[in-house]
């Protein structure tokens, strides 16, 4: 039993999906959050059914690659029931796809989602009449709160028992006839009451205004930085540090000492002791770096990102910086993968699928992999360079921004073609729903931990073993002439640079015990940020770009990393 969930982009299909199946999927307030598809199971009466969340599409004809996925799925999956999700505040446009789908004569039902918004905006819909017009049941729903959900599941149950009465009588129409039909339906079922613009509606307009929009953008970015860093620091100082030093550290030391008082196992698990955050024990530094350095920032970053996403701010930022992004071979919407990259490069590379052309996708992916540092790395850089002052952190990020801009300009010149113009729906501002927001933040943090923790432990194990068997010495001997001349780093820093391939945060943390100068730390942090992607990002790059394009990115990456590192090193020695 297969059920497809279909509808226009950004009507809340993923929220409906999560509500019906209990499977958590990321939903945001902009078109194209769902790029792949998600399957989940749900029980309808005594039967078990498979529900598929299809990416949003405006029609059944493909006008963009993202829409093609939806059409292919519609044709190939052979669904037994279609749940057509529409946005009640925007029925007219939604009816086009709805009618196209109903014309296929599959058992269907229509959900009028965002029912509460429609009411607030003075959109009055006679849903009973609408149901008569299109010949299938219509269910008003507010998916975020769950109001109307019972009625939906009940109707779905009825539909699988009596599929015949869920086939719409609407005939197959030409596009022109369909619009005419929609016009008639709307005039009979919808009344829009004039209302004074609410504060949110005024803000919507101000956010894309040439002057106020820029002021708002600067304010939003500034506040985001302040809150993310401030909240991260606060959590470390008052929660994670005390927990680690007062409780976890003594506990784990005692536990391990119980069965391995000294020797190799104790060395690997505990290192020099928990009191040193850089002891490189699996259960000391490993746990400390991930949970007390990185996790607090990941948490605050995803919480703030979630608020901006659910509010609907990001597409407006995309509009404002569109012309700037065009100079870098991208268009405004590519700001979304880039912002995601500041959290973690892995989902960022995946989300480049919302971009239209191959050229644009290549440029965006290359820029993300090379010049966008992930939050895990940022956290460690703040920890490492913070004590020496803000200037050094500014140098690292200034260099990364310079690389981002100059590489974009260059790739835009070198690669044939032009980035397509932006053409996208701007969602209304919606007040984020607290429970959904917290759930999403939690899912992302959990995803990060599942992703990161095994690699961190693996990495620490690998370093310990490489040192023990002497391979590290050998690698250091080979690489140190190049790196020390170009980057001005001592040979013991090379182990850290090599580890960058596994985990960036761990690698950066490995620099801490080496007694490097602030200048050397700046050079190596920058080098690590630019050079090889971590192994998880590497895997997703292979998948999204293919081997040939990935090789191109890697070559550019190594060259840029060496160049930037050497230039910084040179700059310090001149000053």
Partner 1 sequence: MITINQLENGETGIINEIRGGKVFIKRLEFLNLRKGKQVLKISSAPFKGPVVLEVEGCQIALGQGMASKIMVEPA
Which residue's CB is nearer to partner 1, number 29 or number 569?
A: 29
Helices 535-574 and 471-487 sit at what angle, rounded to 10 degrees? 40
What's the closest the beta carbon of residue 209 comes to partner 1, in angstroms? Answer: 5
Query: Which residue lies nearer to partner 1 by CB, 57 or 436?
Result: 57
Enter the tokens of residue 443: 């899912």
What's the min distance (Å) between Cβ of 208 and partner 1?
Answer: 5
Stretch that binds partner 1, among 138-146, 244-252, 323-331, 349-357 (CB under 8 A): 323-331
Question: In the complex with partner 1, which residue's Cβ is closer, 337 or 373?
Answer: 337
Q: Does 179 bind partner 1 (CB under 8 A)?
A: yes
Q: Token pair for residue 135?
A: 């010949």
With contact defined as beta carbons under 8 Å apart, do 509 and 499 qualify?
Answer: no
> Which CB sits closer to partner 1, 221 or 471?
221
CB of 224 to partner 1, least distance (A): 20
Residue 96 in the binding site for partner 1 (CB under 8 A): yes
Inter-axis angle of helices 358-371 and 390-414, to 10 degrees?
160
Instruction: Determine the Cα–Cα distance for residues 158 and 165; give it in Å rounded to an integer.
Output: 9
Q: Which burial class, exposed, middle or buried, applies to 491 when counting CB atoms under 10 A from its CB (0-12, 13-18, 19+)?
A: middle
Q: Looking at 124-132, 161-169, 265-273, 315-323, which segment touches partner 1 (CB under 8 A)? A: 315-323
Nearer to partner 1, 133 or 204 (CB): 204
For 48, the 3-state DSSP assignment is strand
What sign does the CA torsion over 307, 350, 374, 207 have? negative
Smaller CB separation from partner 1, 11 or 344: 11
Rounded-to-integer distance, Cα 353 and Cα 37, Å: 12
CB of 319 or CB of 453, closer to partner 1 = 319
Give the DSSP H or E segment for 76: helix 65-77
User: Binding partner 1 by CB under 8 A: which of 121, 359, 361, 440?
Assistant: 121
Q: Is 180 in the site for partner 1 (CB under 8 A)?
A: no
| Closer Cβ to partner 1, 61 or 275, answer by number | 61
Residue 322 near partner 1 by CB under 8 A: yes
From 172, 214, 465, 555, residue interacting with partner 1 (rule: CB under 8 A) = 214
Q: Which of 22, 47, 63, 128 is the binder for partner 1 (CB under 8 A)?
A: 63
Measured from the CB of residue 55, what is the shortest distance to partner 1 in angstroms? 15
Candidate residues 48, 61, 237, 473; the one interacting with partner 1 per rule CB under 8 A = 61
**With contact defined as beta carbons under 8 Å apart, do 566 and 486 qualify?**
yes
428: which residues sit within 8 A by CB, 6+ positions away? 89, 117, 200, 201, 204, 312
* 72 near partner 1 (CB under 8 A): no
Decide: is 116 part of the binding site for partner 1 (CB under 8 A).
no
Among 17, 58, 74, 166, binds partner 1 (CB under 8 A): 58
Pick the stretch among 322-330, 436-444, 492-500, 548-556 that binds partner 1 (CB under 8 A). Answer: 322-330
Q: Using alpha carbons, select from 551, 548, 497 the residue that is nearest to residue 527.
A: 497
Q: Rule CB under 8 A: is residue 332 a binding residue for partner 1?
A: yes
Question: Smallest gap, in angstroms, from Cβ of residue 221 to partner 1?
Answer: 16
Structure tokens at 383: 């920890």
Q: Which of 354, 424, 487, 536 binds partner 1 (CB under 8 A)?
A: 424
Among residues 208 and 479, whose Cβ is nearest to partner 1? 208
Binding segment for partner 1 (CB under 8 A), chosen from 35-43, 375-383, 419-427, 541-549, is 419-427
Identity of the residue, 89 or 155, whose beta carbon is nearer to partner 1 in the bound complex: 89
The answer to whether residue 204 forms part of the interface with partner 1 (CB under 8 A) is: yes
Residue of 421, 469, 485, 543 that binds partner 1 (CB under 8 A): 421
**Choice from 107, 315, 337, 565 touching partner 1 (CB under 8 A):** 315
Q: Does 59 bind partner 1 (CB under 8 A)?
A: yes
Give the whole-angstrom CA distance, residue 498 versus residue 201.
51
Handedness of CA 444, 503, 359, 545 (dihedral sign): negative
- Binding window for partner 1 (CB under 8 A); candidates: 57-65, 108-116, 140-148, 513-521: 57-65
Residue 87 pairs with which residues in a beta bridge?
A: 113
Sole binder of partner 1 in the list 28, 86, 89, 525 (CB under 8 A): 89
Residues touching partner 1, count (CB under 8 A): 41
Reference 315, options 50, 524, 71, 29; nearest CA is: 29
CB-wise, 93 or 353, nearer to partner 1? 93
**Is residue 360 involved in binding partner 1 (CB under 8 A)?**
no
Name the residue nearer to partner 1 (CB basis): 112 or 385.
112
Query: Judged by CB, which is closer to partner 1: 189, or 537?
Result: 189
Regarding 324 and contact with partner 1 (CB under 8 A), the answer is: yes
Asked if 93 touches partner 1 (CB under 8 A), the answer is yes
535 near partner 1, rule: CB under 8 A: no
**Where would I find the H helices in 488-517?**
493-499, 504-510
Q: Which long-range contacts (CB under 8 A, 24 or more apart) does 173-182 make?
A: 173/99, 173/103, 178/96, 178/99, 178/100, 179/96, 181/99, 182/92, 182/95, 182/96, 182/99
- Using the rule CB under 8 A, which residue among 23, 319, 479, 556 binds partner 1? 319
Cα distances (angstroms) measured from residue 418 to each of 64, 349, 355, 363:
17, 21, 13, 11
Contacts 24+ apart (CB under 8 A), 391-399: 392/518, 392/521, 392/522, 395/522, 395/526, 395/568, 396/522, 396/525, 396/526, 396/529, 397/373, 399/526, 399/564, 399/568
The four Cα atoms 141, 147, 151, 156 give a dihedral, to 10 degrees, of: 60
Closest CA relative to residue 313, chosen from 226, 225, 220, 219: 220
Per the listing, tokens 């404002």 go with 320
Give the CB-side neighbour count of residue 465, counting CA atoms within 13 A.
6
* Backbone φ and ψ of 554, nearest 5°: -65, -40
Binding site for partner 1 (CB under 8 A): 58-59, 61, 63-64, 89-90, 92-93, 96-97, 121, 123, 175, 179, 192, 204-205, 208-210, 213-214, 315, 318-324, 331-332, 421-428
């Amino acid at each position: 039993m297969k059920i497809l969930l279909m509808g226009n982009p950004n009507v809340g299909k993923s929220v409906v999906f999560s509500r019906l199946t209990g499977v958590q999927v990321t939903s945001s307030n902009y078109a194209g959050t769902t790029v792949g598809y998600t399957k989940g199971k749900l029980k309808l009466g005594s039967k078990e059914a498979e529900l598929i969340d299809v990416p949003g599409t405006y029609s059944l004809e493909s006008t963009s690659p993202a829409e093609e996925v939806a059409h292919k799925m519609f044709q190939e999956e052979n669904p037994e029931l279609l749940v057509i999700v529409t946005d009640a505040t925007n029925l007219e446009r939604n009816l086009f796809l709805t009618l196209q789908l109903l014309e296929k004569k599959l058992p269907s039902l229509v959900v009028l989602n965002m029912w509460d918004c429609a009411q607030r905006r003075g959109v009055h819909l006679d849903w009973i009449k609408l149901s008569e017009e299109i010949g299938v049941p219509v269910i008003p729903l507010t998916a975020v709160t769950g109001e109307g959900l019972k009625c939906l599941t009940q109707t779905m149950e009825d539909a699988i028992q009596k599929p015949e009465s869920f086939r719409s009588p609407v005939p197959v129409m030409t596009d022109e006839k369909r619009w005419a039909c929609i016009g008639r339906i709307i005039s009979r079922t919808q009344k829009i009451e004039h209302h004074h613009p609410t504060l949110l509606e005024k803000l919507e307009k101000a956010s894309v205004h040439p002057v106020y929009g820029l002021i708002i953008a600067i304010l939003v970015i500034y506040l985001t930085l302040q809150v993310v860093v401030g909240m991260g620091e606060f959590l470390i100082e008052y929660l994670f540090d005390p927990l680690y030093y007062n409780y976890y550290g003594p506990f784990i030391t005692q536990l391990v000492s119980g069965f391995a008082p000294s020797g190799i196992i104790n060395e690997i698990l505990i290192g020099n002791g928990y009191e040193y955050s850089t002891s490189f024990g699996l259960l000391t530094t490993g746990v400390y770096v991930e949970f007390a350095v990185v996790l607090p920032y990941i948490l605050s970053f995803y919480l703030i990102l979630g608020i901006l996403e659910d509010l609907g701010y990001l597409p407006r930022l995309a509009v404002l910086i569109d012309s700037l992004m065009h100079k870098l071979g991208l268009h405004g919407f590519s700001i979304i993968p880039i912002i995601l990259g500041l959290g973690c490069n892995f989902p960022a590379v995946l989300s480049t699928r919302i971009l239209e052309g191959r050229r644009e996708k290549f440029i965006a992916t290359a820029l993300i992999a090379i010049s966008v540092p992930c939050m895990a790395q940022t956290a460690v850089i703040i920890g490492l360079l913070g004590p020496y002052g803000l200037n050094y952190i500014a140098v690292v990020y200034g260099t990364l921004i310079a690389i981002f801009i100059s590489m974009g300009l260059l790739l835009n010149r070198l690669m044939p073609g032009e980035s397509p113009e932006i053409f996208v729906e701007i969602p209304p501002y919606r007040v984020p729903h607290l429970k959904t927001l917290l759930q999403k933040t939690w899912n992302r943090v959990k995803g990060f931990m599942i992703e990161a923790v095994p690699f961190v432990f693996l990495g620490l194990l690998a370093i310990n073993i490489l040192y023990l068997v002497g391979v590290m010495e050998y690698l250091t001997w080979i690489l140190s002439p190049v790196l020390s001349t170009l980057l001005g780093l001592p040979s013991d820093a090379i182990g850290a640079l090599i580890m960058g391939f596994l985990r960036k945060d761990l690698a950066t943390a490995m620099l801490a015990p080496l007694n490097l100068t602030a200048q050397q730390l700046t050079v190596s942090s920058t080098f690590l940020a630019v050079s090889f992607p971590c192994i998880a990002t590497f895997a997703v790059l292979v998948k999204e770009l293919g081997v040939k394009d990935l090789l191109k990115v890697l070559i550019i990456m190594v060259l840029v990393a060496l160049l930037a590192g050497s230039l910084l090193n040179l700059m310090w020695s001149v000053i």
